[in-house]
Chain A
Amino acid sequence: MQRKLVVSSSPHLRNEGVSTRRLMLDVIIALLPTAVASVWFFGGAALNLLLVAVITAVAAEYFYQKLTKQKTTVSDLSAVVTGMLLAFNLPASAPWWIAAIGSVIAIVLVKQMFGGMGQNFMNPALIARTILMLSWASLMAANVLPHAGQWVAAAGADAVASATPLGENPASYSLWQLFSGNIPGMLGETCKLTLILGGIYLLVRGVIDWRIPAAFIGTAFVLFWIYYGTLYSVESGSANVLYQLLSGGLLLGAFFMATDYVTSPVSPWGRVIMGVGCASVLFVIRVYNPSYPEGCSFAILFMNVLTPLIDKLTVPKPFGYVKPAKPGKGA
């Protein structure tokens, strides 16, 4: 017989529509509107940071894998996603090298050193953001006013610090400002409109599970409502539910960071716990520690660390599961 037939284990069909690369591409597509919005509000500086972060992330992954003689996996596009998310966590005023250092931290220290794709136990972009914040607190302060539609800020405007929506003496912004993103903040967290659009895209494409964002936003809603008692009023300033939901990194976190496959639980109930946990930690940080304005990163990182435990506690019961007659019965 001349023909060579391939023998492999069943099943012999694969879902062609699904691959790691395709999933990452979907995340990139979902992040693009927010990237465009950040460039609209923060001009060339935002584009610079995005490019530097993405290019450094991809390069860091490529060279690290070459250096350690591993198969290069940059074509799975996950480094692009990490780069974009990192840039989204930087203020427009940050110098380009902050983005570069952040990307290297995210890719090399957090992702590759723990075994690469799928092996890191915390969100790479969030760890990078945290390290940058602790190392260059002043450079990481998100107090640059947006300058919608202008490529460069008006002369001297970069230096003008303005009050952020959250923090000890929060400035009050209108709901529309918060929603459209016309507020100071990190590049990717200001425009809620595009974040929600991106989130919906991911949900529709089946890339992310609805449980994490729903539990996250839902729990935050309930907790802030119980605490503040008002859904929204102009007089209450930042002390109301909608203001809290629309400021800071909450939506970016709920749709794009907490849903990171690698660092969130696999089981359906685990994902609910993830969302509830993230919102609860965020609530505690925002309400009880006003000197630290942004709780989202820490909330997600905290739940990242708990993920293996959550997974362990929420292993689904097999179909037709029967409780062992004698628990711990030996051989």
Chain B
Amino acid sequence: MSLFHVFPGGIHPREGINGKAVTCALPIEELPQPSRVAIPLLQHIGTPCKSLVVKGDKVKVGMMIGEPVGFVSAAVHSSVSGTVVDVQPCILANGLQQPCVIIDNDFKDTWVELTPVAEPDKLDGKAISQLARNAGLVGLGGATFPHAVKYSLPPDKKVDTLILNGAECEPYLSADHRLMLAYAREIVTGAQTLQHALKIERVLVGIEDNKPDAIEAMTKACENDPTFTVTAMPTHYPQGGEKQLVYSLTGRTVKSGGLPLDSGVIVINVGSSHALYRAVYEGRPVVDRVVTVSGCVKKPANYLVRIGTPVEWLLETSGGLLPQARTLLYGGPMMGMAINREDIPITKGCSGITALEKSSALENESNCIRCGRCSSVCPMCLVPSVLDKLMRKGMYDEAERQGVMNCIECGACTWSCPAKRQLTQSCRTSKKVITERRRAEAARQKAEEARRAAAVAVQEEAK
């Protein structure tokens, strides 16, 4: 049993317990397939995929329809069998348009031939990374970072710990919880495969202690493997935040701007581990995922949903929104995105659809009273009240100096603000502006260098 570390800050929202109680006892059920899916070609952080299909093409389930482009990318596969209607931009949860492959379902559910890996034990880092890329594996916890990149360890980095993230600290969601109960064995096997391929010494499984049955199931599933340790972590939002989790389980602090990799740790979500298992042992790419539908809906549930299914279809199957629903969230209430249309497709990073009665946007903000609550709950030890003021004054440089880029947008500050200020949003805005500035600066420097090089070349020629 490793020593447990308590990360700074954090909150204990009541909804974390009450909200989860709605769905945590409901087993995963397979959602009937919709008649039409819209599969975005960008479902990960990185470069969008190149479409491999055109209008009229017949596709089968599991067929690659989006080819990964560049290093930071992951393939996209068809989640139903049928005919490609079109490849056209659709609005996604973040409000932006992305090209999507629209497929009409023939309901035959014909799969492409799946070829499991012949000798999973012989997979090495390179092979498993390639496999992850082709199977469309991304962080299914929500960050959607391509796993092919995660598995490609630079030769100078030593990784000794693999962390399985089963914290699921987001209120209302129980997708990972149910997944651990249903597929503990597969999740553990997936992690073992990765562990052997990357030669990682130990695996730490972190689960919040509000899921005792999941802790038991996971402990049981890995009891024969002494390199596994399952830890019951205090229920403490944002326990599942990558940096918080690494600190909680290993006591190591991920440096500002760094990756867990720099601290010798790789973190993957339990859902991703399950997807990896399926890719290796069943040859099955990511075509579905578990989504919790909860809150103000008639019949809350945990569904196994084909990627590209419209939110509308989930809500319909769940009996529709209750009349009092005011906000519809793509994800959970702390970090999810509010959406105002129901035709948005489910992507790989969506672990829940939550409908809430309240809307925080309708609360009037008042002056900051400098109570310091935001700062005391910030898991990154920032002072959101000050960052908020700096953003409003356009003082982005000072905000950067005060560490705004460390913000993980967990929402704890806004949650605890008595003046109801949108502190998280301010940090988000600052981060966006600073990132854009950095990009512009990099581009300017590059242009400058090119100009200089050209000037030097001209001089040389003159000589």
A and B: real partners? Answer: yes
Contact of B411 with A11 in the complex, beta carbons under 8 Å: yes
Closest A residue to B377 using CB positions: A15
A-B contacts counted at CB < 8 A amount to: 175
Q: Mark B73-96, 1 if CB is under 8 A from A, else 0.
A: 000000000000000000000000
Taking CB atoms and an 8 Å cut-off, the chain B residues in 436-461 that contact chain A are: 441
Contact B372–A266 (Cβ < 8 Å): yes
CB pair B333–A11 under 8 Å, yes or no, is: yes
A206 vs chain B, min Cβ distance (A): 9
Produce 1/0 per residue, B107-131, CB < 8 A to A: 0000000000000000000000000
B366 at the interface (CB under 8 A from A): yes
A321–B403 touching, CB < 8 Å: yes
Inter-chain contact A267/B372, CB cutoff 8 Å: yes
Task: Point out the residues of chain B lying under 8 angstroms from A319, CB to CB.
Answer: 7-8, 243, 247, 253, 379-381, 406
CB <8 Å contact, B369 and A117? yes
Choice from B243, B360, B370, B409 contacting A320 with Cβ under 8 Å:
B243
In chain B between 293 and 335, which residues have their CB closer than 8 angstroms to a CB of chain A?
A: 321, 325-329, 331, 333-335
Cβ 8 A contact of B360, one of A13, A20, A73, A315: A13
A67 close to B (CB within 8 Å)? no
**Among the listed A13, A267, A320, which residue makes an inter-chain contact with B258, where contact means beta carbons less than 8 Å apart?**
A320
Q: How long is the Cα–Cα vector from A315 to B398 in the complex, in angstroms?
A: 12
Question: A160 contacts the other chain (Cβ, under 8 Å)?
Answer: no
- The answer to whether A6 and B367 have CB atoms under 8 Å apart is no
Least distance between A212 CB and chain B CB atoms (Å): 11
Further pairs besides A12-B336, A76-B366: 20, Cβ < 8 Å: A6-B340, A10-B411, A10-B424, A14-B360, A14-B420, A15-B11, A15-B415, A19-B418, A20-B366, A20-B419, A117-B369, A267-B383, A317-B403, A318-B256, A318-B381, A318-B406, A319-B243, A319-B406, A320-B253, A320-B380
A154 CB-CB contact with B under 8 Å: no
B386 interface hit (Cβ, 8 Å): yes
Interchain CB contact (< 8 A) of B373 among A18, A118, A331: A18
Residues in chain A near residue B329, CB distance under 8 A: 12
Q: In the assembled complex, which residues on chain B have CB atoms less than 8 Å from the CB atom of A73?
A: 366-367
Fill in one digit per residue for B377-415: 1 if any A CB lies within 8 Å of its CB, else 0.
001111101100000000000000011001001111011
B338 in contact with A5 (CB, 8 Å): yes
Complexed CA–CA distance, A261 and B375 (Å): 13
CB distance from B117 to the nearest CB of A (A): 37
User: Is B363 part of the binding interface, using a Cβ–Cβ cutoff of 8 Å?
Assistant: yes
The 20 sampled A-B contact pairs (Cβ below 8 Å) are A1-B342, A5-B327, A5-B338, A6-B338, A7-B338, A8-B359, A11-B412, A78-B369, A115-B367, A117-B366, A118-B419, A209-B372, A261-B372, A315-B383, A319-B8, A319-B406, A320-B254, A321-B256, A322-B257, A322-B258
Cβ of A326 within 8 Å of any chain B Cβ, yes or no, is no
State whether A11 and B415 are in contact (beta carbons under 8 Å apart), knowing that A117-B367, A118-B368, A321-B403 are contacts in the complex.
yes
A23 touches B371 (CB 8 A): yes
Interface string of A14-36 (1 = CB under 8 A from B): 11001110110000000000000
The interface centre, meaning the residue of A19, A268, A320 with most chain B CB atoms within 10 A of its CB, is A320
Q: Does A316 contact B (CB under 8 A)?
A: yes
Q: How far is the CB of A287 from chain B (nearest CB, A)?
A: 32
- Residue from B334, B369, B373, B402 having most chain A Cβ neighbours under 10 A: B369
Report if B279 contacts A (CB, 8 A): no
Establish whether residues B334 and A322, one from each chain, have CB atoms under 8 Å apart when the complex forms.
no
B341 is an interface residue with CB less than 8 A from chain A: yes
The chain A residue with its CB closest to the CB of B354 is A12
Whether B342 contacts A266 by the Cβ 8 Å rule is no
- Does A116 lie at the interface of the complex (its beta carbon under 8 Å from any beta carbon of B)? yes
- A262 proximal to B (CB < 8 A): yes
B428 within 8 A of A: yes
Number of interface residues of B (CB under 8 A): 74
Chain A contact surface mostly: loop
Q: Does A69 contact B (CB under 8 A)?
A: no
Complex Cα distance, B414 from A262, in Å, reads 18
The reply on A9 being an interface residue by CB < 8 A is: yes
Assess the B13–A8 pair: CB atoms within 8 A. Answer: no
B403 touches A8 (CB 8 A): no
Closest to A115 in B: B367
Check if A291 is an interface residue, CB within 8 A of chain B.
Answer: no
> Is the CB–CB distance between B381 and A316 below 8 Å?
yes
The answer to whether residues A19 and B420 also contact, given A3-B325, A13-B333, A320-B406 and a CB cut-off of 8 A, is: yes
Tell me if B416 is interfacial: C-beta within 8 Å of chain A: yes
Most buried by B among A5, A209, A267, A317: A5
Assign chain A's interface to a size class: 35 or more
Select A13's contact among B13, B253, B376, beta carbons within 8 Å. B13
Most buried by A among B247, B339, B367, B403: B367
CB of A119 within 8 Å of the partner chain: yes
When C-beta atoms are compared, the residue in chain B nearest to A270 turns out to be B372
Central interface residue in A1, A12, A73, A321, by most chain B CB within 10 Å: A12
In angstroms, Cα B356 to Cα A5, docked, is 10
Known A-B contacts A10-B335, A12-B333, A318-B382; A118 and B370 likewise in contact (beta carbons under 8 Å): yes
Q: Identify the 8 closest CB pairs spanning chains A and B, nearest first.
A: A11-B411, A8-B361, A318-B403, A6-B359, A118-B367, A9-B425, A266-B372, A117-B367
Contact of A266 with B375 in the complex, beta carbons under 8 Å? yes
Docked complex Cα distance between A18 and B331 (Å): 25
- Please tell me if the beta carbons of A262 and B369 are within 8 angstroms of each other in the complex: yes
Residues in B neighbouring A119, C-beta threshold 8 A: 367
Give, as a whole number of angstroms, the nearest-CB distance from A68 to chain B.
15
Q: Is the CB of B334 within 8 A of A13?
A: yes
Q: How far does the alpha carbon of A76 sit from the alpha carbon of B340 in the complex, in Å?
A: 33
Against A, the Cβ 8 Å flags (1 = close, 0 = not) of B3-38 are: 000011001010100000000000000000000000
Which chain A residue has the least Cβ–Cβ distance from B7? Answer: A319
Contact B381 A8 (CB under 8 A): no
Q: Which of A76, A268, A316 has the most CB of B within 10 A?
A: A316
Chain A nearest CB, measured from B383 CB (Å): 6
Neighbouring B residues of A262 by C-beta, 8 Å: 369-370
- Please name all residues of chain A whose beta carbon is closer than 8 Å to the beta carbon of B7 when the two chains form the complex: 319
Is B220 at the interface (CB under 8 A from chain A)? no
Q: How far is the CB of A305 from chain B (nearest CB, A)?
A: 15
Interchain CA distance A318-B337 in the complex, whole Å? 26
CA distance A209 to B358 in the complex (A): 30
Partner of A1, one of B333, B341, B356, B371: B341
Q: Across the interface, do A6 and B337 meet the contact criterion of CB distance under 8 Å?
A: no
Chain B residues lying within 8 Å of A118, measured Cβ to Cβ, are: 367-370, 419
